[in-house]
């Protein structure tokens, strides 16, 4: 059932993005696109990730609603503009490469940066400050 909920959350997020985003950007330009992110992505994030419609649990690999937006963009353009999937493949690969590199880099940051270590009790921090 959680998988069905995941699919429904993804469908709503994808449809919202590509129903609203192009119209807002054609009408209001850059500011329209920015506002659409604030409206659409915020409520979709609240539903999918804060309330947990997309199935994620601590200690497991995170599945983001970005996957749903991605597939929705491709399906939307293929249905609406008759574009061919094979034309999107090089850009998809570039996006996956850039995203994977950023994932590796961010994992290193989270592993090494002192700001991302689990919080220590205040007494221990005071000890550090005294030297």
Partner 1 sequence: MVEWAVRYIDWLGMSPVSVLTTVFGAFCVTFVVIICWSRLVDDFGAIGGMMAAGIIVGTFWVMNHKLPGFGIHPEGIPHPDGGWKQFGLIYQGFRGASPWVDMGTAIGAGLWVCGLCGIPQGQKLRMAAESVPRLAAAIAGGAVGGAIMGLVGWTGANLFGYR
Stretch 55-84 residues interacting with partner 1 (CB under 8 A): 55-56, 59-81, 83-84
Nearer to partner 1 by Cβ, of 98 and 127: the residue is: 98
In the complex, the smallest distance separating the C-beta of residue 127 from partner 1, rounded to whole angstroms, is 24
Residue 47 engages partner 1 in binding (rule: CB under 8 A):
no
Q: Check binding of 103 to partner 1 (CB under 8 A).
A: yes
Assess contact for 55 and 2: CB atoms under 8 A.
yes
19 binds partner 1 (CB under 8 A): yes
Query: Could you say whether residue 26 binds partner 1 (CB under 8 A)?
Result: yes
* 7 belongs to the binding site for partner 1 (CB under 8 A): yes
CA distance linking residue 75 with residue 84, whole number of Å: 10
Our CB check for partner 1 shows the closer of 85 and 125 to be 85
Determine, following the binding rule CB under 8 A, whether residue 1 of this chain makes contact with partner 1: no
Question: CA 3: distance to chain centroid?
Answer: 18
């Amino acid at each position: 059932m959680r998988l069905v909920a995941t699919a429904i959350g993804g469908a709503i997020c994808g449809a919202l993005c590509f129903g609203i985003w192009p119209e807002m950007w054609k009408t209001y330009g850059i500011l329209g696109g920015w506002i659409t992110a604030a409206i659409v992505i915020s409520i979709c994030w609240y539903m999918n990730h804060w309330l947990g419609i997309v199935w994620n649990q601590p200690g497991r690999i995170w599945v983001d609603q970005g996957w749903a937006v991605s597939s929705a963009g491709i399906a939307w353009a293929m249905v609406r503009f008759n574009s061919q999937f094979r034309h999107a493949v090089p850009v998809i690969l570039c996006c996956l490469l850039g995203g994977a590199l950023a994932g590796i880099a961010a994992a290193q940051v989270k592993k090494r940066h002192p700001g991302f270590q689990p919080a220590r009790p205040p007494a221990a921090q005071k000890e550090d400050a005294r030297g």
